[in-house]
Amino acid sequence: MSDQAHRLGGRALAGEPPGRRLVRLTAADSHHPIVVRTGDTVELWLPEAPTGDYLWRWRLPEGLRMMRDEYLPADRSRLAFDVNAPGRHELRVELARPWESEPRQALTFTVEAQ
């Protein structure tokens, strides 16, 4: 595990086995590795303004499983995924118009699962 890894406390998920947590991230968390546990659920809360036709698209590595991809009021998008395997996983998200190949913004989240 990296010495620079950012340890996030999470809250326990109701109705789930003990030890499983929900960890919430924002764009600011893309600048450093995030340490989680296998079995945790991670939510990315990202700004999104669908009126400009820009949407978040994602590239999910093995070891992470997408659970939810939705637009929410107040111009935000929520991506939720479960951490299914230990190790270092890189999740890339891009804000782009569907017909454009180059994104307006790109973020990479490094998840270190124990």
pTM listed for this prediction: 0.76
Domain count of the fold of the chain: 1
CATH number at residue 99: 2.60.40.2020
Residue 1 covered by a domain: no
User: How confident is residue 14, by pLDDT bands cut at 50, 70 and 90?
Assistant: very low
- Tens of pLDDT, residue by residue over 38-49, are 999 999 999 877
DSSP string over 57-111: EEEPPTTEEEEEEEEETTTEEEEEEEE-SSEEEEEEEEEE-TT-SS-SEEEEEEE
Residue 71 covered by a domain: yes
- Give residue 33's domain range: 6-12+20-113
